[in-house]
Structure 1
Amino acid sequence: MTEREEYEAWFARRFGGLDVPEWLRAVGFEFWRHGRLSLIEAAGAPVEIRALQEPR
């Protein structure tokens, strides 16, 4: 799953019923992505964040 796919899945769960313009979703993705990168950098060690698939 790509970062964008993970973001889209999270966005759908969190804001699925709202009509959000695509440009705002794109900006949200950049904030989401850079937030993840800053967590990795702050850890001070090489780590990888993976989203686990939610049980159905």
Structure 2
Amino acid sequence: MKTLKTVKCGETVKVVKLHGEGALKRRIMDMGITKGVEVYVRKVAPLGDPIEINVRGYELS
């Protein structure tokens, strides 16, 4: 199982599990990242942070 941190630019992956709890997990879910959704990695900064992703037609970074 990959983490979002290890996904390469241009890859599409499906969310299998969310890590975190409480307010952090709720915030991630509020942004549309939930179990079963596809995430496309658009851009990754040279040092790996930030990354830009597409989720449900929205761009997040």
Does the TM-score normalized on the shorter chain lie above 0.5?
no
- The structure whose residues are more often strand, as a share, is 2
User: Which structure has the larger Rg?
Assistant: 1
- The structure whose residues are more often helix, as a share, is 1
Normalised by the length of structure 1, the TM-score is: 0.29
